[in-house]
Chain A
Amino acid sequence: KAGVTQTPRYLIKTRGQQVTLSCSPISGHRSVSWYQQTPGQGLQFLFEYFSETQRNKGNFPGRFSGRQFSNSRSEMNVSTLELGDSALYLCASSLGTSELGEQFFGPGTRLTVL
């Protein structure tokens, strides 16, 4: 079974631009969660999508948005990029049911904002 894939792996953008990151979950997984990892703030939860609906949301500004498609693939968008958005963005997928709480993580997208 293929693991979680994220594209692109690396991105360099400038302040004010926008960016879209993509995540393909493990086949059969319906939940996709996004996390931001920075040296200063650690791993922070952005949002979770389940069956094309946002089910959970973290404490990030509205510049951070996401969506999920009918095949469970998810995209995350960041508009009006700021220097502080430089981070490793991790996507995790899971079955999405309460009985099995395990999330599987992708390799991440390293975003650098100049």
Chain B
Amino acid sequence: AQSVTQLDSQVPVFEEAPVELRCNYSSSVSVYLFWYVQYPNQGLQLLLKYLSGSTLVESINGFEAEFNKSQTSFHLRKPSVHISDTAEYFCAVSQRTNAGKSTFGDGTTLTVKP
């Protein structure tokens, strides 16, 4: 069995400030890790993923996440946020041998204020 805990349900932050959205996971087998973003009334968009290799992964819009196996974490960071980053963010995990079944955290609502 696997589980995901997103440690903050809501994160308010001012524009151009740094932000960290925290995610811990639990699994007895090797996993893939993902961060998805969801805007109102839309589906999920993949933000970034860790499949293997370098533990630091980056997205094209300035987000990055670091896979920490010893701490079973996959925190999402951005050094300077924009108003347009306001959305709900989901951390997800799937087993490497069972990638069609993802387990999601409860989500973190990021609100960027001017």
Contact = CB atoms under 8 A, between A and B. Distances in A.
Interface of A: 4, 31, 33, 35, 42-43, 45, 48, 50, 55-56, 58, 90, 92, 94, 96-98, 100-108, 110
B25 interface: no
A98 B107 contact: no
B45 interface: yes
17 contacts: A31-B99, A33-B102, A43-B92, A43-B104, A45-B102, A90-B44, A96-B99, A97-B99, A98-B97, A101-B32, A102-B32, A103-B94, A103-B100, A107-B42, A107-B43, A108-B43, A110-B41
B90 A103 contact: no
What is the interface of chain A mostly: helix, strand, loop, or mixed? strand
B36 interface: yes
B70 interface: no
Interface of B: 32, 34, 36, 41-46, 49, 51, 90, 92, 94, 96-107
Contacts of B49: 101-102
Given A42-B106, A42-B107, A98-B96, A105 B101 contact: no
Contacts of A55: 100
B100 A105 contact: no
